[in-house]
Structure 1
Amino acid sequence: MENSANDAASGAQDLPSAEPQHAASTLVRGITVADALGLSSLAGTTVLAGAAGLDRVIRRLNVMEVPDILPWVKPDELLLTTGYPLRNTPQGLVGLVRDLAERDLAAVAIKLGRYVDELPAEMLHAADRLRLPVLRLSDEVAFDDVLNQLLTDILNRQAATLARVEEVHRALVNVVLAGGGLAAITGELPALLDGGVMVTTPDGRVLASSGVPDATRTDRRFFDTSSGRFHVERFKHGVRALDDEDARVVQVPVLAGGLDHGRVVLISRERRIDPTDVQVLERAAATAALVITRDLAVAAVESKYQGDFLRDLLTGGVGDPAHAVRHCATLGWDIDRPLVVVVAELDAEPATPVPAAGDLRPAHERFASAWTMVVRDRDPRAAVAGYSQEVVAVMGADRPGGGECRTGALVRSVVAQVSGDGGGGRRPFATGVSRVVTRPQDLPAAYLQAKQAARVGRQIHGVGAVADFDDLGVYRLISLVPDSAELRSFTEETLGALAASGDPEADDLRGTLEVLLDNNLNVAETARVLHFHYNTLRYRIGKLERMLGPFTTDPNLRLDLMVALRVLRMRGLR
C-alpha cells in the first residue's frame, strides 16, 4: 500500500486553514470531484456510480486502511483505498456507502483487482441514489501522486483566494484611512468582483451602489420598482448562496456592536458567485460596519442638536423669524419658501420583550432613518427629525427647480417609498399633512394641523392612513369633541336602529342611506351605483324615512344624518 501512515486507522491529510477554523470549514471550497478527474495523477479513472455528485467538493484526502474507518471520516474528503479492508465484508458495503454519505464524504476512489475484483451492484445502486461518487482508479495510479497533486492544487487555489482577499483588504483600508464613506467602498469593489455592489439597510433600502445596471434596478426579481428597495428577503446570505444551482446574487450582513446595520450585496454580471466573492464581501461588510458606526456617532450628535432646534421651531420657541431662517440655512434647511409639515406616527404595537443582542435597531430609529433618506432624496433642503414614535418633515411645497405640484401626491409618493412593499418587518404608520404655509412663524400651526390630520386619518382610514388637513372637512370638528360618549349618544339618537353595528340589515340600510346622501338624493345615480332597480331604491327610501323621518324634505335632518354617519366612520367612537 502506497501510504504507510503511523495512524492505524487512516492517513488523512487536512489542508491548512486560510481563515479561522469556523470560516475555513465553510468558505475554502477546494476542488470539485469533476475537476479532480482532469488531473494527470487521476488519469484513467472511471466513475462507477454516483455521477450526479461530481460537483461535491474535495477539501481533504484520506486513505482507508482498516474496515472501521467511520470515526476518522471528515466532510469533503476523498477516500482512497486498495480495497484491502473490504475484502471480507462485501455484504456491509451498502451500509458503508450510506454511512459515508451521511458524513458528507466527497468521493470514494478504489483500486480493483488486487483485493476486491468488483463492487456489489447493491453498493453501486446505493451510491447512485445518495449521489456519492465511487471512482475506479487505474492500476498505474499511485496514491502518493494523487495526494501530492491534489494537495498542491487546492493549496494553490487557497493562495490565490488569499491574495485576492488581501488586495481587497488593502483597498478598503485605504478607503477608511482616507475618510471615505459607503460610496467609496462600493466604488472599489465592482472591478474586483466583476459585478454590481450595493450597501443597503437591513430591509433593502440602497445606501450606496456601484456597477448595478439600470436594467437590473428595474427588474422585479431584484428590486421593488415602486420604492427602489432591494428584495433582501429573497436571497440567501453568505455561503448558503453557493448552494443555488446558478448563484448570481449573494449578500452579507453588516454587523457591529450587536446590531444589524444592513447588507453588502453582490449581483454578478455573467459568472457564478464563488467562495472568494463571499470572503471579499465579508471584508467589505466589516469595513462598512466601521464606516456606518463612525457616521452614526457623528450623526447622533448632529441629529440631537438639529432635532432640538426643529422642535423649538415647531413649537414657536425660536424667537425672531429672520434668525430662524439664517440658522436653518447653516443646517442645510430652507424654510424661507412655501412649506408643508408632514407628521408620520408609528402605530402602537403589543408590548414585546427587550430585544436580544443582534436584533435590528429599534423600530423608531429605522423609521426615522428611512424617512430622512427618502425625503432628502426628494428635497435636499428639507428638515427631518425623529421623536420617539413620530417623524416630522418640513418639506417644500413646490418641486425643486420651480413648478407647482400637488403636495398631497408628493407626500403620498414619499410614504409609498418609505413603506416599500411591506418587506423588512416594517411597522405601519399614519401620516398627516398640513396646509401650505409661506412664513416661518406659521410652522407651529402647521405642525398641529399635521398631527391632527395623522390622528384623524388613522381613525377614519385605519392602518397606513395618509390624510391632508384640508381634506378632513367635518371630521376636524368631530375630532375636537372630547366626549366620545356624547358622540355615540348623538349617533344613536339620530340614526336609531341603523346605529347598531353587526346587524346585517342595519348595515345594508345604512350603506344605502350613505350613498343616497353622498349623491345629493339623486335616486337614479344612487340606483346605478348600488346596482338596484329604481323601484327597489324608492321602496328602501320609504322604509328609511319611516325609521328616520322625512330626510328627503328636511335639510336639517339630512345634515344630522350626514354628521352621524361621519361619526360612525371614526374608529374608536362606536
Structure 2
Amino acid sequence: MATWGPEVVAGAAHLDRPVRWLHVAEAADVGVMLTGGEMVLTTGLLLAGDEQAQVAYVESMQRADVAAVLLGLGRAFRTTPAAMRRAAERCGVPLIVLHRPAPFSRLTEEVHARLVHGRFAALNLSDRIRSSLTTLNLSGAPLQQLLDEIAAFAGCPAVVANLAHRVLATAGDRNSLSELMRDWDRVSRQVAELVRNDPVTVGPDGWIVAALEARGQRWGQLVLFGHPGSEESGRMLGQRAAEALAMNRLLGDRDRGWEEHAAESLLSDLAAGAARPEHLLTRVRAAGLPVNRRTFVPVVVREPAGRAGDKGDRSDKAADKEGLPQLLDRILAEEAVAGLVGSIGADGTAVLLSVPHDQDADAALERVAVLTHERLAARGRRAVVGAGFGCTVLDEVRRSFVEAVHVADAALAGPAATAVARLRDVRLRGLVRLLRDEPELQAFIERELGPLLENAPLLAVLRTYLKSGRNKSLAAQVHHVSRPALYRRLESIQALLDVDLDDWEQLTSLYVALLAHEAQQAVGPEAAW
C-alpha cells in the first residue's frame, strides 16, 4: 500500500492482528455482515458530516472483531475525521488512511491471491507431513526415525519427553540439542510454565509444545525448539506430529514403553558399533543416565540355548528368558547402581553401567554379575557375563561395547572361571572372535582346513582330537569308534591336509583355523564348542 500514502492514525498498538480477508464496503451497518479478521476498505461516503455515525461505525467494527479499517481520503474526507480517530483509538481498532486515491479492486485482488496461495501452501504442507509420517508408521519405523522426520519438517530440534520430563528421544541439530540437554532441568521447567490445556501451545521464540495422548490418556509431550515458521504453521506441525507419534505408540509394543525402546535403541547401536560419538552425550543424557564424573562399563549378558542345565517346560523357559532385562533392572535397583538395560538381538541383554568416579567400578560390576548368576541358577538357567573396559569419557564407550559383545560371544564357547569375563579371560578364542569378519582370516581358514570343510565327520574328529589335548582314547570314546578306527581317520586327515599332527606349529595353525571357522559358522553369537 506504500504507493497510496498510508498513515496509521489510530490503534497502532494493534497492528499485529492477522488479516484473514479484505472487504470493500460503504454501508454504515456492514459490521453485521463480518465474521472477524477482515480489513475493511471504505471511502466513508455514508459517514461524512455525521460524527455520531462515524463513532457508531467504528464501534460496530470493534464488535465484529475486524483486523483494521482502511479509509481512502479524497471523496468523503479530505483529512482524517477526528471523531473516527478518537473512537478507533478508544476501541483499539487500527485506523489507516490513504492520502492518495487507491484502486480498492487491485488491493483486494492482490491480497486475496496471497491469502489463498498461503492457505493452499499450508494445506499442501499439512498433507505432505501427514502422508510422510503415516508412511513411516505403517512401514514399522521406530520412534527415532519418525522424530528425525518431524525435526526435518520443523527445521529445528525436536524432543519427546514423558510427564516426568524424562527425555525419550531427540532429533535435529546436535549442537543445539547438546545445549538443551546440558541444562534440561531448567529448560523443562520453562516448557512446563509454557504449557496450557490446549493440544498445541505456541510460545515465544518458536517454541511449540504438543500434548501426546494414547487411549485417551496424556502421557508426554513433543517440544519443538525454535520453529522458524509462522505461528499457524507451527500449530499445524505440532498437531500432525502429535497424531503421528500417537499412532506410533499404538502400533508399537503395547507391553513396553518408549522409555524401554529409547534405552534399547541406544544400547543396540552401541553394541553394533553404530552409535556416532558426537551424538552419545545427547542420547545418554536423554536416556536418564548420569554422565558427570562417572566411569562407564559396558556389559553383555548372554544365555546359551539348549545347553545342559536348561530344565523344565520349554514354554516356561521362553517366558523366563524374556524377563532377563527386567531381572537385571531389579538387580541394579537393589545394588543402587545406575545403568541402562535393553535387549540386543534375540538372546542378548546389554547393560551400560554408570559408576561415580569415587566408587570402585569393578566391584560394582562384580556384585551385579554374581547376583545375575545366582538368580538365574535358581531358575535352572545359566549365562555368561562379558564386560568391556571401564571408560572415563563417553567417546570410548562405543569401542568398549564392541569389546564386551565379542567377549560375551567367546565366553559362550568357553565360559570363564570368573563371574565376569574380560578380554584377557577369553584369550586366543576372544582374539579370533574379534577378527572373525576379516577377509584375511577367511583366507587362512581356507588354506588350513580347505579339504576338510566339505567333510564334516573328519572335521569333527579333528576338533575333538585337539579339544581333548590329543587324547586319542578320549576322542575315540566321544565318536564311539575303536582306537584303530580313530587312527585311520587321523591318518586321512593328515593326508588330506598334508600336515603332520605331531608337529606343534602345524597343530597350532589348525587349532586357530578351527576356532575361526567355528566363530564364523556359529548361529548367532554361540559357537558349537
Return the TM-score normalized by structure 2. Answer: 0.50
Q: Normalised by the size of structure 1, how large is the TM-score?
A: 0.46
Greater share of residues in helix? 2
